[in-house]
Structure 1
Amino acid sequence: MVYPFATRVQSITSSAVRDLLRIIQSRDVISFAGGLPDEGLFPVQELELAYQKVFLSGGKSLQYGPTEGDSELRLLISERLKEKGIAASHENILVTTGSQQAIDLVAKVFLSPGDTVLVEDPAYLAALQAFNIYEANIIAVQSDADGMIPEDLEEKIVTHRPKFIYVIPTFSNPQGKVWSKKRREALLNLAVKHNVLIVEDDPYSDLRFTDEAPIPLAAIDTLGKHVLYTSTFSKTVAPGVRIGWLTGPTEVIRMSALAKQSSDLHTSTIDQRAMCYFLQDFPMQQHLYRLREQYKQRLDVMQAYLKKSDPNLFQWVEPKGGMFLWVSINREIDTADLLKVAVEEGVAFVPGAPFFASQPQTNTLRLNYTHASPEVIEMGMCRLMAALDKVLASRVHD
């Protein structure tokens, strides 16, 4: 029997990536693979108190709720968005089961087989999977360290008439880069000129390592007509709570709510109420400062191993925030093959090829630096270098 859904998913996911779930469950393998925050930094006690308040409040939080989400939580999210310069009323916010559901809902609303989506190259793998499931035509736009190149973007808008442009302009996954203000404005200007929707995925902006906070596209879109904005508490509070949100043009939010209603009726009322209590009681800004300090320290440890090696061997752009370090190896090497040797050495990462919508660069890899402690990162990088040495040595002998 043929399962079209499975076929479409497999077409964009390499066997190496599919094997990662099995790999990282091995206790003797250090994983730089998943986009995982450190559970040691989760505010466990504060979340426990929040959930206690939910159950002490009676049975209402165990009942069905509105598809759009808990009204109080939406108001709290609206206040947080205002701090980022995004003017979104709580009536125009849809609470989702993580931001991944928001991406899927947008794809469900807009995409029919053959419709075009424009993306960066490389792009977030799970978004590519979501668009692929709806049989979209995924077109990569040429990009550099500052973001999409406007000339190529406009050419592809005119040629392909995309349903939307999907971007992570702040601490992108997988590259960890930050779009310049000029490129953000250029993207929005082209979206307005050609009446194209932008989907701005922003899970990482609170994890910045500098004092300067990049301006979201949704904040530049003062009329609120051209940017759909999605974010989540998964990276800053805890991914297991599964609370994300979507905001943007009113009609799109309404259609997304209808699509969500057909999927799961609503996001867990218990989790939404707990997040309300948590946000009201918890010093979130202090928590974010701690995350930034810890994650920057871990990034520095990881980069130190790359810097002290052969200076001509690696190439990367130092992240200013987020969770990922994107590395190119300046040799003719397939990192899917390197992964096999690395696992034997006791370390895992994600090969870069599956992140590309166009011609994959097989000499790339993505490293997550937020999950492991600095000591474990040191051990893991040592193992990774040993694996790379083995692969390079075998090529010399061949």
Structure 2
Amino acid sequence: MEYRFSSMASRLKPPSVRDRLKLSQGKDVISFADEWPAEELFPAHAVREAAGRVIAGGAGALHGGAAEGYAPLRVQLCGRMAARQMAATPEQMIVTAGSQQAIDLLVSVLAEPGDAVLVEKPTSSARLQLFALRGLKAIEAESDEQGIVPEDAERLILEHRPKLMYASPTFGSPTGRVWSLERRTKLLALCKHYQIPIIEDDPYGDLVFEPNERLPTLFALEGGAERGTVFYASAFSGTVAPPLRAGWAIGDSGVIRMAAKMKQAAGQHSSAFDQQILSRLLENFDLDAHIRQIAGACGERMLEMHEQLLRQGLRDVSWQKPKGGLFLWLELPDGLDGEALLRLSIRKGVSFVPGGQFYAQHPRRNCIRLNFACHAGERTKLGVERLAEAIGEFTARS
């Protein structure tokens, strides 16, 4: 039978890069393409103990949960948010199967197919795919080392009248940049003035290398969920364990209630078992101490990759040392295409994510994203050497 795909399915971009990365799995390929830190950095023993406590609690552990999420976990998460000056009640929170689902629900409530969404250039490829799937047009605002450029954002707002803004101001993929306090304040004021809701995505914000330098979130700057402009989304995937699919969103209670209704209607219940494990983990495990430990390890691995790249003496290759998160954003010589470089690099035994897929409209193809936290020591050294060899072969041809 021949199938005709729906218009929604047809909006998805061909997964050519991901297909190539899959082909490299199981071979002697050092992957800098991962989305999370190395497995050994996660608290596997503590998660195992928490799961055991949940199972020992009886049959209730296997029951389904409310669309809003496991009530004790929501209370605990609100407490953690309050410690970061982000005031929210359990009624203003929904627990989801990761931050992608949280953002999907918010987008589904706040926007219609055909609406525009304002994004930073470049931005998360996964979120761009989500916006395309929902029929939204991503409008790219220019950015620099301080974050999104307010003047360009306002120009695009006046031209396209976006229905919402998507922002990841703290260590966001792919650049790992941190928006300055001035840019955060200006963008928040801009969106409040034009009444544009902001979805603030913060999957890597806990992985800060110098905690004293941590800036307030947009949600905290606005003063909490009652103000109604900012919706904050995050997850435990980068600090506890990616397989425990639990994220959350906080914001206006009316929007959160509608998101819960949509989640229930679509049968998109996140795992109540995973949520109970996380709740027990928060009860019996010093998560903050673990986060400081994993952030410190990521910082050491970033410096290690940075030093290895410097040792290669790569001409016309530049990058900025991030202050947290997982990613280094490399700008390659003009004319060097990241996807073509990936094909050669996989043959040499190293992989990464080409930069073109992080753009909605006008991609810069001479950029690549490296995850510095998924390897250490000899593996990082060898992977960087293989990458440098591939870059050298390309530049020698030009």
Q: For this structure pair, what is the TM-score category when the shorter chain's length is used for normalisation?
A: over 0.9
2:18 corresponds to: 17
1:251 corresponds to: 254
Moved over 4 A (4+): none
Q: Tell me the matched-pair count.
A: 392
1:2 corresponds to: 4
Residue 160 of structure 1: how far off its partner (Å): 1.3
Question: Given the alignment of the two structures, is residue 355 of structure 1 paired with residue 358 of structure 2, yes or no?
Answer: yes
Residue number among 284, 289, 294 corresponding to 1:291 in the alignment: 294
Residue 312 of structure 1: how far off its partner (Å): 4.2
Residue 367 of structure 1: how far off its partner (Å): 0.3
| Amino acid paired to 1:30 | I
Gaps in structure 2 of 5+ consecutive residues: none
| Structure-2-length-normalised TM-score | 0.95
Structure 1 CA distance for aligned equivalents of residues 163 and 256 of structure 2: 16
| Amino acid paired to 1:89 | T
| Amino acid paired to 2:145 | A
Question: Given the alignment of the two structures, is residue 69 of structure 1 paired with residue 69 of structure 2, yes or no?
Answer: yes
2:222 corresponds to: 221
Structure 2 CA distance for aligned equivalents of residues 5 and 122 of structure 1: 23
Structure 1 CA distance for aligned equivalents of residues 361 and 379 of structure 2: 34
Structure 2 CA distance for aligned equivalents of residues 199 and 208 of structure 1: 21
Structure 2 CA distance for aligned equivalents of residues 247 and 374 of structure 1: 39
Structure 1 CA distance for aligned equivalents of residues 334 and 193 of structure 2: 42
Structure 1 CA distance for aligned equivalents of residues 309 and 292 of structure 2: 26
Structure 1 CA distance for aligned equivalents of residues 306 and 131 of structure 2: 33
CA contact (8 A) 2:199 2:230 kept: yes
2:204 corresponds to: 204
- List per-residue Cα deviations over 1:359-384 (Å, max 9, x = no partner): 11110000011111232111100111
Gaps in structure 1 of 5+ consecutive residues: none
Residue 265 of structure 1: how far off its partner (Å): 4.8
Residue 75 of structure 1: how far off its partner (Å): 0.6
CA contact (8 A) 1:297 1:374 kept: no
Structure 1 CA distance for aligned equivalents of residues 267 and 214 of structure 2: 34
Structure 1 CA distance for aligned equivalents of residues 47 and 314 of structure 2: 45
Structure 2 CA distance for aligned equivalents of residues 297 and 136 of structure 1: 39
Tell me the C-alpha RMSD between the 2 structures.
1.4
| Amino acid paired to 1:288 | I
Question: Given the alignment of the two structures, is residue 29 of structure 1 paired with residue 47 of structure 2, yes or no?
Answer: no
| Structure-1-length-normalised TM-score | 0.95
1:237 corresponds to: 240
Structure 2 CA distance for aligned equivalents of residues 304 and 91 of structure 1: 47
Structure 2 CA distance for aligned equivalents of residues 99 and 218 of structure 1: 16
- List per-residue Cα deviations over 1:181-225 (Å, max 9, x = no partner): 000010110111111100000011110011321210000111431
Structure 2 CA distance for aligned equivalents of residues 265 and 177 of structure 1: 32
CA contact (8 A) 2:314 2:388 kept: no
| Amino acid paired to 1:125 | S
Partner SS, residue 232 of structure 2: strand
Structure 1 CA distance for aligned equivalents of residues 8 and 193 of structure 2: 36
1:382 corresponds to: 385
CA contact (8 A) 1:204 1:323 kept: yes
Listed as ranges, the matches of 1:82-97 within 5 Å are: 82-97=82-97
- List per-residue Cα deviations over 1:284-341 (Å, max 9, x = no partner): 1221121122111111111112223336421112110001000101232101111111
Structure 2 CA distance for aligned equivalents of residues 264 and 304 of structure 1: 48
Structure 1 CA distance for aligned equivalents of residues 31 and 265 of structure 2: 36
Listed as ranges, the matches of 1:1-398 within 5 Å are: 1-3=3-5, 4-10=7-13, 13=14, 15-23=16-24, 25-210=25-210, 211-222=212-223, 223-310=226-313, 312-393=315-396, 395-396=397-398
Structure 2 CA distance for aligned equivalents of residues 384 and 333 of structure 1: 13
